[in-house]
Each structure stands twice: as C-alpha cells, then as structure tokens.
Structure 1
C-alpha cells in the first residue's frame, strides 16, 4: 500500500493556503507602510529641530549634513536640501532657502505621501532667525 496525499487533499490544502494569504499579505503590506510613515514623521521632526538648533547656534547653515544625519536608504541629502522619494517621485522635501526652512509634502506623489499627509505632515515654512 502506497502512502501519500491524494490530488484532492493537495488541492484543498492549496486553496486553504491561498485564502489565508489573501488576508495576510495586504495586512502585512499595510503594516510595513505604516511603519515607514512613522519613521518618516520622526525623521522630519528630528531634521527640522536639528536644523533650527544648528542655525540658532551658528547663525547660518551651509550644509544640512552638518546639522543632522539621516538614513540614506530613505533620504537623499544634498547641500541645503533633503528629499524622500516615493518610487521616483519627490514626496517630502526639506529645504533651507535664505532664512527659511521649507517642508514640502506632495500628497499625490504616492501611497506613502498620501499617508504622510493624512498623518498631519503638511507643507509648512519655518523661520530661521
């Protein structure tokens, strides 16, 4: 007598695994996006506070990297500009211009940007005195 699973048992197992996966995968992806939004919110808050403090102590800022260190996996850091891209579109930009610190959030740039906007991260300008 041969031992093993019948074709019907294998098909049933595959269907059950498919049903479980159809619920689990979207939940996992949503959790991952929420974690990224939380990280970006924290990074934006930290960057703004650090840049303002650096400018207050030194009277000017020539490179943002002197004031703050951010994860380069999420952020692109230039001299006076920090950018987060959702896919290939600029989503959140922190930029120093003259005596202003500008935060620009494009809610239509992607899902993460939309969730940032819904979380209260909006386009804002701060004075650097």
Structure 2
C-alpha cells in the first residue's frame, strides 16, 4: 500500500541521491519507462537522466524542497513541490526555484517514479 509517509521518505531518498549523484539509488527509484520533462522543455528518459549524473554534468550543491500537495490515488501518488536548487550544469553555475510534479507508482519490486515535470518559477 502507498502512504503519504512512504512517498515522503522516498522523496527524501531521491533528494539525497540527486545531491550525491548516486546513480545506483536513482536507478532503483526510477522506473525503466520513466518520462520526465525538464525545465528546458526537453523530455528525458531514465537512461538520459542517469547519464547526466554518470558523466558529472549535473552537480547539485543545495536542494531545499517544499511539498505543496501529495495525493494518493490507488497505487499511484502525485506530488507537487517547490525546490530551490543550487549547483552547476555543464560547468555553468545555476541557482533557481523550480516547481515539480512527480508520479510514484507501486510495482511488485517497489514504488518507483514513472513520470513528472519541472519548470522554473
């Protein structure tokens, strides 16, 4: 069963994996068929996302989340949040606030991110 506490714990695990570029944890949290729209408007897959971390193109120094909404719908969770991010992408420093929506779905092997989107606000 999906609960709000489980999703919030998974979100925290995801934030730590992003900050530490931990591709093993990210690989476990992201579904193989993930589709995600990044702030530039490009749609990326799980493999594209993992490659960004493997190649060291994205380094997150600070990640401060603020959950707005979290809805549980059967075996699916939908979360919206604001995240303040600071780091560098392709050696270019950035600092901005983003709004994300992320979809977590329960599978036999666990709860995984199946999709989402992020925009600059």
If asked which structure has higher relative contact order (CA below 8 Å, sep 6+), I would say 2
Larger radius of gyration: 1
Please give the TM-score of this superposition, normalised by the length of structure 1.
Answer: 0.30
Larger proportion of helix: 1
Question: TM-score normalised to the size of structure 2?
Answer: 0.32
